[in-house]
Amino acid sequence: MKRISTDMPNNDMQYYMRRKEALLSRMQGKIAGQSRIQNLRDDPVAAAHSVVLKSNISRLRQFSDNTGEIQSRGRVVEGYIQESLSIMHRLNEIAVQGANGTYKKEETAMMGDEVNQLLNELVQISNSRHGDGTSLFSGDRSLSLAFRPVEGYVEGSGRKLITNVEYTGTINPGMGEISDNSYVESGFPGNTLFWAEQQIVISSRNSDNFFVRNDSSVLIDGVKVDFKSGDNIHAVIAKINDSGAPVKASLDPVKSSLTLSTTEPHQIWIEDAEGGTVFQETGLVKAANTRPPHNIAPDARISGGSLFDMAIKLRDSLYTGNVIDIGSSSLKGIQDGLNHLVSQAGKLGARDERLELVKGRLAYQIPEITAMDSRETDIDLAEAITELKMLEFTHKASLQTAARILKPTLLDFLR
């Protein structure tokens, strides 16, 4: 600039001071707010990352909560399974002891009393509730009891005792999300946990000429199986077997009727989906609007029972002193139940292990992602303070220059 007007130094000073002060105030704001991003423009991309990471952290925390809750529920259940196991062991001992044939009927009846007490305890366990008051083993009917004991006169005991234990829950275990799009069952429906034998349902209706009239579906253990109109009984059987439901369908060789048997011990849970009549027409279930498990057609044969059924059978054999039954079917039933319970305990342990792994991963992931978020948005204090110091220094320098703006003019030398 060749010519400097009197206003120019002043204008310059104001311009640079304004900029310095703006920078200083921004830096101070960043340090005070502990964030590199005061306004989104400071680093838009980091801000966008941070937004996703923050959401992700809150989600992971929720997963961690979910995992903890499901795990604690599982551990409570494990306690009950252990207790049931020791009851089953005792029943097994009694069955073995009662079957040796040297006891009189009065003596086996006394054993029957003990079995009865153990049965009561088993029913008690199956109806236990979680700390929050919800039923542990009733599926999603969490406010009602899982099993309903029915009492009746039992030969040899002389009193009214439990003669049947009905499942009143559902098969829906409930799901919890433990990672993005990864779920784990959170409940333990009693009709699987407290089951002893494979269940088989055999219809008594000849289905040779059966075919599906309209597109319709059935529900087997909660799995939906779709049929197309025109499917004959063999197509129906094939579709059921391919569906992934834990049952196997077959045609009874004698009666040519539809037969369903479980592939792992549990209560068979079948119904026609809304509008469908396949199971009804093949003689497996009663008329529509009846709910499982009490909807099996009255003329269908059903076998395979729960732990309670096994205990009741053993007790009744002991009361009547039927040594042959004690040693054969009763003992086998108890042992089946024991095996199943052990496998259930194993399943529970495996689930707990999986949850433990998830929890461990989350415990590592949450701080890691928090650190990532912090790297995106948080301020590096050492750097910020150094920068602030630099700014302060340059600001001071420009102030000093400013002081010289009031430099002497010709006026000072004129008389």
The four Cα atoms 229, 234, 237, 243 give a dihedral, to 10 degrees, of -60
Kindly state the smallest distance separating residue 82's Cβ from other proteins, in Å: 24
Q: Three-class SS of residue 355?
A: helix
The interaxial angle of helices 381-403 and 7-33, nearest 10 deg, is 160
Kindly state the smallest distance separating residue 372's Cβ from other proteins, in Å: 13
DSSP lists the bridge partners of residue 301 as 202
Whether 81 contacts 341, CB under 8 Å: yes
- DSSP symbol at 273: P
Secondary structure E strands in 58-131: none
Kindly state the smallest distance separating residue 253's Cβ from other proteins, in Å: 32
* Residue number with CB closer to other proteins (48 or 381): 48
Q: Three-class SS of residue 266?
A: coil
Name the residue among 339, 200, 190 with its Cα closest to residue 268. 200
Binding residues for other proteins (CB under 8 A)? 1-8, 11-12, 15, 35, 37, 39-45, 47-52, 54-56, 58-59, 62, 65-66, 69-70, 132, 134-135, 138-143, 170, 172, 174-177, 180-181, 183, 186-187, 219, 222, 271, 273-274, 291, 373, 377, 409-411, 414
* Residue number with CB closer to other proteins (106 or 132): 132
* Residue number with CB closer to other proteins (219 or 247): 219
* Residue number with CB closer to other proteins (103 or 279): 279
Kindly state the smallest distance separating residue 56's Cβ from other proteins, in Å: 8
* Residue number with CB closer to other proteins (121 or 177): 177
Please, which residues have CB within 8 angstroms of residue 379's CB and are 6 or more apart in sequence?
Answer: 30, 31, 34, 35, 36
* Residue number with CB closer to other proteins (3 or 104): 3
Length of the chain: 415
Tell me the HSE value of 400 on the side-chain side, using a 13 A CA sphere: 6
Kindly state the smallest distance separating residue 105's Cβ from other proteins, in Å: 46
Kindly state the smallest distance separating residue 44's Cβ from other proteins, in Å: 3
